[in-house]
Each structure stands twice: as C-alpha cells, then as structure tokens.
Amino acid sequence: MAVTAPKPRTRSRLPLSRDRIARAALDLIARKGLEGLTMRALGAKLKVEAMSLYHHVPSRDGVLDLVMDLLVAEVEIPSEGPWPDRIRKTAWSHREAALRHPHAWPLLLTRPYTTEAQLAYCDRLCALVGEAGLDPQGTALLFRLVGHYLDGALLYTALGPGRVHDPAPPPAPVDPERFPALARVGPHLRRQLADAHFEFGLERIIEACVRAAKRKA
Amino acid sequence: MAVTAPKPRTRSRLPLSRDRIARAALDLIARKGLEGLTMRALGAKLKVEAMSLYHHVPSRDGVLDLVMDLLVAEVEIPSEGPWPDRIRKTAWSHREAALRHPHAWPLLLTRPYTTEAQLAYCDRLCALVGEAGLDPQGTALLFRLVGHYLDGALLYTALGPGRVHDPAPPPAPVDPERFPALARVGPHLRRQLADAHFEFGLERIIEACVRAAKRKA
DNA sequence: ACCTGAACACCGTTCAAGT
DNA sequence: ACCTGAACACCGTTCAAGT
C-alpha cells in the first residue's frame, strides 16, 4: 500500500515554543546586547511576526525570565568534597558562565528570582553555604558576604569592554598631575588582570567564611 | 530720570542650564525610575520642549552623566584618621547615598566613568586604599576586593523592594518541601536585616585588608 | 490553536524654521 | 543664542481578523 510521504513543507518552520524563543533571545542578546532584544527583532529571528510571540510568553519580561533560566542552568554547584572547595568551584563556574554571556548576565543582578528553576538555583546556593555549619542567621551572613562579592565581581566581568557592540574604551590614560593616585593604581586595574583579582578576593572571602565557621564550632 | 523696571516676564522661566537639567533628571528618576527618565518627560518637567535640552546636553547619555556627577558628589571620603576607619566611613557614606537615590544608583555600576568629577572620585578612592601602604599591584588587589563587595552590596541596597514604583514583592513564602535550604535561610535574608549584613561583610573585608597590609609590612 | 496586520501610545534624535 | 514643531525610524502591546 502506497503511503504518501509527509508533505515537504516549502516553509519548514518549526512551531514556536518557549524553548526556541529562549534560545533565540539569548543569541540575540549575545549579538546586539540587552536593549537589542526587541520583540520585533526576536520575531524576525524566528521568522515570525512579533505578535506571535505573545502566544507563548506574556511579555518581554517573560522572555527575560526564560533567558535567566538558561543562565542559572549553566552554573555548576558541586555536591562532593569539602565545602570551602565547593564554594570555590561554584564561584569559578559562575565566572565562566558570566564570561560566556556577558551581555545577558546583568539580568541575574537586576531582576527578581521567580521561576521554579530560579528558586531551585537559590536553594542550592543556600544549601551549599549552609554546609559551613552555622545556624540560619549565620548562614545568611555568609550568604550575603559571598553573594555581594560575587555579584560585584561578575557585574564587572560582564560589563568589561572588548566585547561585541561595546563601544566603551579601555580605561583612558589619566593625567597624573590631576589624578595622581588613579594614575599610579590604574595600570594595575587592567581587565587582563581580572582573573588574578577575582582569585585574590575570592580566597579572602573563603578565608573569612572558614574563620567564621571555626569561631562558632 | 525714570528707569523702566525690568519687565516682569509673565512666564518667568529661568534659562535652561546643565545644572537645572541635572537636578530635574535626578528628581524624575527618583519618582519614575531610570526608564521613566525620557527626554520628553524631562522637558515637560522644565517647561520646555524636549528638543531644547539638546542645546545643553549631547544626548540622553549626557543627562545620565550629569546625574552620575551629582551622585559621586554626595559620597564623603574622609581624609583624617586611621585608614581602616576611613574605609569603613567611606563605605557607610556610599550606602547612605545609595539609599537616598536607589533608582539612580545603578548608573554608577553600569556606566563608564568619564567626566572630570567621576575621575576625581576614582582618584580619591585609589588614594584611600593606597593608604594601606601596599605597592600599586597590592593596592589594586585591595581596591577590587573592597570595590566588588561594595558594588554588590549597594546594588542589592538600591534594587530592594518597597520603593516607589517598585512592583517586586518581598521574597514570597517558599515551599519547604521543594526548596528546604531556601526556606530555612530565606527568613534571615529579609531586607530589614540588610544593615547588619552589610556591616558583617564590611568588617570581614576590612579585616582582610588589614591582614594583607600587615603581611607585606 | 496559532499566527497576522493594523493601530495606539510611546521612544531618541535630526533638521529646518522661528524669535 | 536659544527654543520650537514636524518628522523619522523605532519601541511594547492590544485587538480584531484571518487560517
């Protein structure tokens, strides 16, 4: 019995889905920056009118939430080994993800965490810091200490120049007459040194956590 | 000889100036948020067509630079006393300024420092951290450690809920079945505790600076 | 059920024109 | 010199209409 082959659609466009929208949005942000993510541009990328997106997502903010879900999914939080080591690895994993998605990363610093995936990510971080063995109050103190440092360091990482569509020049030469301290320290604040700076600060933060854990124990 | 009194202008509008524009912009941001600062709204506030602003400022970004100048001018950096104390006071002064201008503060974290006033501010911060007595490389390490912590903490401070036009609800109750660690620690992450959290982290950071300074000396 | 097209109420910015 | 008005090329989102 002859079976008709599935009709080859001349326009073989997959149906829209939240997953396809999320990936297209992440890619668009990587190319054009956060403000380059417009509903019209996103629609064009998916070969669809902008208005079709609203059937899968409630608003532009809804798209940003999908992108945040992709970001937190890339962070690895190990569950084996001594906890200071796990904090160290988690921090570096954050840094790698931020470097992979510099334009999108600020979303994680400026928007509330609401989706299931985002809350699960927060939960894993709380559990990790809780391994230090302090009570919930003490855990919250360490959580903020580590968190604030990471947030600041990764925002700096993400906003660094030398990326696509980032017109900000590297720190311009500074007049040592008018700004003597800045002229002296400035050369040592170069982005190329950011790895070493990140590591130094991270180790001081972990030391502080270890000391706090010992004090309570 | 009769002198004609200066004709009382029925529309006594002051001439536009960069200073008036800056203050109006800061006020508009306080009321409507950063995205509420539009050239049209700013013009309306100054009783002028939006296009008149372009005679005093090159672009919307130029307005944001003026606002940043106002913000850094509010930070007090003491020049007397032991340096760990001065770092502590400078940090708290930052926090107070961030709390006075929560909506505008993120500008200082996301835009490059370019104007005279902004560079002078960076210079004073470098000079302060330089007081720890390390060489420029070491000074840069401390500068990043303190800076990243402050950036993260103040971004958190600035983005907190409970402000005008901030629809984000305080951390919603969390299902302890699905997110046990978050449910345990979450209550201790409330904004009301932010002062104590900020202080704890700041003191650990200053300790680390003191230790680093001793090690080198 | 899913996608479209026109429309609404906005943006930043340019430019020629007014006083 | 300073301000204006109209216009251009965009936004996010609504809504009635198509298939």
The token pair that represents A16 in the structure block = 């829209």
Place of tokens 């559990």: A127
pLDDT in tens, chain A (217 residues): 433 333 333 333 667 899 999 999 999 999 999 999 999 999 999 999 999 999 999 999 999 999 999 999 999 999 999 999 999 999 999 999 999 999 999 999 989 888 999 999 999 999 999 999 999 999 999 999 999 999 999 999 998 643 333 334 455 678 899 999 999 998 898 888 899 999 999 999 999 999 999 997 6
φ and ψ at B171, to 5 degrees? -45, 115
DSSP state letter for A172: -
Across the range B183-195, mean pLDDT stands at 89
Question: What pLDDT is stored for residue A4 in this prediction?
Answer: 35
- Tell if the CB–CB gap between B141 and A197 is shorter than 8 Å: yes
Distance B50 CA to C15 C1' (A): 15
The token pair that represents B211 in the structure block = 């230790």
Positions of strand D less than 7 angstroms from a protein CB: 2-6, 10-16
Across the range B156-181, mean pLDDT stands at 68
Choose the closest CB to B204 out of A137, A145, A196: A145
Whether B54 sits with its Cβ under 7 A from any strand C atom: the answer reads yes
pLDDT tens digits along B55-82: 999 999 999 999 999 999 999 999 999 9
Choose the closest CB to A189 out of B143, B180, B208: B143
Q: Residue B3 class from Cβ within 10 Å (0-12 exposed, 13-18 middle, 19+ buried)?
A: exposed
**CB contact set of B74 (below 8 Å; sequence gap of 6+):** B97, B100, B101
Nearest nucleotide over every DNA/RNA strand to the B54 CA, judged by C1': C13
Q: Which of A181, A192, A149 is nearest to B208 (CA)?
A: A149
What is the C-alpha to C-alpha distance for residues B189 and B176, in angstroms, rounded to an integer? 16
Coil, strand or helix: which one is A140? helix
DSSP state letter for B36: G
- Tell if the CB–CB gap between B182 and A149 is shorter than 8 Å: no
Q: Measured between beta carbons, which residues in chain B are less than 8 angstroms from residue A193?
A: 140
pLDDT tens digits along B17-66: 999 999 999 999 999 999 999 999 999 999 999 999 999 999 999 999 99
Cβ atoms of B111 and B66 within 8 Å: the answer is no
Locate the chain B residue with the closest alpha carbon to A127.
B181
Please, how many CA atoms are within 13 Å of residue B81, restricted to the half-sphere of its CB?
Answer: 10
Q: Which of A215, A212, A188, A182 is nearest to A200 (CA)?
A: A188
Q: Measured between beta carbons, which residues in chain B are less than 8 angstroms from residue A212?
A: 204
Choose the closest CB to A122 out of B130, B155, B182: B182
Q: Please report the sign of the dihedral spanned by the C-alpha atoms of residue A199, residue A203, residue A204, residue A208.
A: positive
Positions of strand C less than 7 angstroms from a protein CB: 2-6, 10-16
Q: Please report the sign of the dihedral spanned by the C-alpha atoms of residue A71, residue A74, residue A79, residue A80.
A: negative
Question: What pLDDT is stored for residue B4 in this prediction?
Answer: 35
pLDDT tens digits along B105-156: 999 998 988 899 999 999 999 999 999 999 999 999 999 999 999 999 999 9
- Tell if the CB–CB gap between A155 and B151 is shorter than 8 Å: yes
Q: How far is B52 from chain A (nearest CA, A)?
A: 26
- Tell if the CB–CB gap between A123 and B180 is shorter than 8 Å: yes
**CB contact set of B122 (below 8 Å; sequence gap of 6+):** A179, A182, B113
DSSP state letter for A192: G
Q: Which of A209, A20, A42, A217 is nearest to A128 (CA)?
A: A209
Coil, strand or helix: which one is B4? coil
Would the pLDDT of B196 be above 90?
yes
**b/e map B22-33, b = 16+ CB within 10 Å:** bebbbebbbeeb
Question: What pLDDT is stored for residue A7 in this prediction?
Answer: 35
Cβ atoms of A100 and B154 within 8 Å: the answer is no
Q: Which residues of the protein have their beta carbon within 7 Å of strand D?
A: A 37-41, 50-51, 54, 59-61; B 15-16, 43, 48-49, 51-52, 55-56
The token pair that represents B145 in the structure block = 């450690």
Per-residue pLDDT band for B214 (boundaries 50, 70, 90) equals very high
Q: Residue B210 class from Cβ within 10 Å (0-12 exposed, 13-18 middle, 19+ buried)?
A: middle
Residue nearest to nucleotide D3 (CA to C1'): B52
